[in-house]
Every structure is written in structure tokens, then in C-alpha cells.
Amino acid sequence: MPTITYQGNSYECSSEQTLLDGVNSQGANLPYGCRSGLCQGCLVKAVKGIPPASAQMGIKPTLKEKGYFLSCLCKPESDLEISRPDRRDEYIPVTVSKIEQLNPSIIRLVTTSPDNFSYKPGQFVNIIRSGDGLARSYSLASVPDDGQLEFHIRLLPDGKMSGWIANELKSGDELLLSEAMGDCCYRNAYADRPLLLAGTGTGLAPLYGILRDALSFGHRREITLLHGGLSSDDLYLHTALSELAAEHDNLSYIPCVLHGEAPENGLSGSIDTLIPAQLGSGDDWAAFLCGDAAIVTAMRRNCFRHGVDENSIHSDTFG
Ligand SMILES: Cc1cc2nc3c(=O)[nH]c(=O)nc-3n(C[C@H](O)[C@H](O)[C@H](O)COP(=O)(O)OP(=O)(O)OC[C@H]3O[C@@H](n4cnc5c(N)ncnc54)[C@H](O)[C@@H]3O)c2cc1C
């Protein structure tokens, strides 16, 4: 009968049973979820011995190579020593190169961009704290040509991740990243259509990447960027965006504030209500909408009501 070694203990495991059931019935505490090979909650690593190929179905090739397998699918054929997953195998380590304030409540986090990390501007990643695995999603504000990754993090009261990034993380520290996800990205097929980019707060992060992607592709029609905040103190990258607009005849940057006086060339009011005037008939526009869920929903509704085709509205909600 094959012997399974886990955390210094040995378990005899018949090949009639799955490894998960065998070791757990003898007092091990291997985590699991669906027990049918779908959720991968029972993923383990063979640190000695070779797991059966049938227990590696559906696992990423990079993890297969490192000996990962699903204990719920494994009928052990030979002795194995196993361990829980090592986060450094599952995620991509990056090094923090800069942390700075963009305004009193928004932080710019810059990290290295490893060769094995690829993304499209506008996508997001999960940032994972190496120590305990705390994970949150953040949008990439950079474009691959920057050679570094940039994130805009809003500091939330009692926010576990944002508070840790603001108060404890420092240059030279390591973070882990998931692969890039999401589809809120520029399409080259949009080059001859007007573009609306609209977002509040750190909703600007993905929009900043999408905007620079569109400009570097040579987008031929107008691009209107609306960035909203409660007051002008909430806006950020104001100078960089004003300069970008001055350099590109087809780009209009419109800062929007809910309260108080709008900055020069800006507008006052709730960002969703300011959208229709920008769209005209709405025909042919493509829209990218990012930020808090309620505002994105309201902006989406107004785009749709003013003629923007639903398939041409792309969004990322942070809520
Ligand atoms: C696809 C996606 C992309 C995202 N991109 C970004 C980004 O680029 N920049 C960014 O700053 N955030 C982004 N977020 C939000 C981010 O993932 C975290 O939810 C946020 O940073 C809060 O994490 P925290 O650990 O600091 O707060 P938590 O400890 O999780 O929460 C602290 C308190 O804040 C509240 N809260 C949590 N999230 C929000 C929120 N979004 N708005 C208002 N209150 C909240 C909680 O209910 C709680 O009361 C994104 C989310 C998603 C799903």
C-alpha cells in the first residue's frame, strides 16, 4: 500500500481510495472544495515521488511541471511526499520600486515587471501579500512599454490591503501577482470610432492605461476622458492628463467634480449626468467605464440611453 507523507506524518493509502479521503480519514486536514476536480481547492505539491497523470487534469502546465496535482483525483500508485501549495509557485513575485502619494487618499505603487508577466492595458491583477496570502484586485495603470507596473490604490478607512500598502509596504519589498485578467481593454478595431473613457477615483487607473494604449496605436477619432471626484482635491494626474491632451488634438480631458468649483476646462455635477452632452447622438461611440459599481451602472445606463451600443460598452467595477 503506498505511503503518503504530509507534514512529518505518514499515512497508508490504498489505491482504491483518493489520496484526499485516505489521509483525511486518518486525521490529516487537507483542504478541499468540490471533491470532483473542478475547484482545485485540494491542490497539493508532490515534493517526492511522481503523482499519477490523471490527478493533474486541468492544472496549469507551469504547476504540473512543479509536481502539483489534485488530491481528490489522485488514486496513489506509489509513495509520495506532499506539501500544501507554495504561493511563490502559483503567483508571480515582483519587487516594489516606488510608493508615493498622488493625492491625500490615493497611492501610486510601482513594481518591477518580470519577463514572464504579460498583460493588456486596462486589465487587473490580484495583488497577494506573501506573508499571509491576503489578496485584492487592482487595475494596471501602466502600459507594457513602461517596463514597470503601476497601480493606483485608494486608501480606505480600516482597509486591510490599502492600509498595509500605505503604512507598511516599502521599496524593495516583495509582492505576489496573479496573471492579468479582464477584458476592459482597447480594441484596434475601434481606431475609427469616437471613444468615451469615464471613471471616478481610482477608476482612472485602467482608463489611463487604455488611453495611452489607444494613443500609441494611433487612434484616429476623438477621445473624451471624463475623470470624476467629489471635489477637485480628489482628482489626480491632473497635470499629466492636461499635458497629454495638449499634445494630442484628438484628446479632450474633462475633470468633473460633484461639489465645489470645477478646475479649468472641467465640469460640475455627477459624472453620469455629464455623459450625454459629450456623446451627441451616441452613434458609433465605444465607451470604457471604470470605478465604483453604482457609478459605473449609472454611467452605463446613460451611455445606452444615448445610443451607445451595449456591445461597445466595456466596464470594470471595483465594488
Ligand atoms: C476588478 C477590480 C479592480 C480594482 N481595481 C482597483 C484599483 O485600481 N484601485 C483601487 O484602489 N481599488 C481597486 N479595486 C478595489 C480593491 O480590490 C479593494 O477592494 C480595495 O482596495 C479595498 O481593499 P482593502 O483591503 O483596503 O479594504 P477592506 O479591508 O476589504 O475593506 C475596508 C472597508 O472598505 C469597504 N470597501 C471595500 N472595497 C471598497 C470599495 N471599492 N469602495 C468603497 N468601500 C470599499 C469595505 O466594505 C470595508 O468597510 C478593484 C476591485 C476590483 C474587483
Which sequence spans correspond to the domains of the chain? 3-87, 91-177, 188-317
CATH 3.40.50.620 assigned to 188-317: no
- pLDDT value at residue 133: 86
pLDDT tens, 39-76? 888 999 999 999 999 999 999 998 999 999 999 999 99
- State what percent of residues in the chain have pLDDT above 90: 90
Quick one: which of 79, 59, 68 has its CA closest to 15? 79
Task: Tell me the best of 101, 156, 288 to mutate to test the pocket of ligand 1, counting ligand atoms within 8 Å of each CB and taking the most.
Answer: 156
Is the pLDDT at 281 greater than 80? The verdict is no
- pLDDT value at residue 271: 97
Give 100's Cβ-side CA count (13 Å radius). Answer: 7
- pLDDT value at residue 90: 86
8 Å CB contact between 134 and 165:
no
Rg (CA), the chain: 24
Residue bearing the bigger pLDDT, 282 or 170: 170
pLDDT tens, 194-248? 999 999 999 999 999 999 999 999 999 999 999 999 999 999 999 999 999 999 9
- The full DSSP string for 88-108 is HHHSEEEEEEEEEEEETTEEE
Whether 3-87 and 91-177 share one fold: the answer is no
CB atoms within 10 A of CB 109: 21
Question: Hey, what CATH topology would domain 3-87 get?
Answer: Ubiquitin-like (UB roll) (3.10.20)
- State what percent of residues in the chain have pLDDT above 70: 100
8 Å CB contact between 76 and 4:
yes
Q: pLDDT-based confidence at 160, cuts 50/70/90?
A: very high
| Least confident among 123-132, 149-158, 161-170, 292-301 | 123-132
303 lines ligand 1 (CB under 6 A): no
Q: Which DSSP state fits 181? A: B
Average model confidence (pLDDT) across the chain: 95
Longest dimension (CA), the chain: 77
How far apart, in whole angstroms, are the C-alpha atoms of residue 192 and residue 63?
42
Is the pLDDT at 283 greater than 90? The verdict is no
8 Å CB contact between 130 and 81:
no
Separation of 306 CA from ligand 1 center, angstroms? 30
Question: Hey, what CATH topology would domain 91-177 get?
Answer: Elongation Factor Tu (Ef-tu); domain 3 (2.40.30)
38 lines ligand 1 (CB under 6 A): no
User: Which ligand 1 atom sits nearest the alpha carbon of residue 139?
Assistant: 8
Residue of the CA atom closest to atom 19 of ligand 1: 136
DSSP H helices in 12-60: 19-24
Residue of the CA atom closest to atom 24 of ligand 1: 159
How far apart, in whole angstroms, are the C-alpha atoms of residue 56 and residue 305?
48
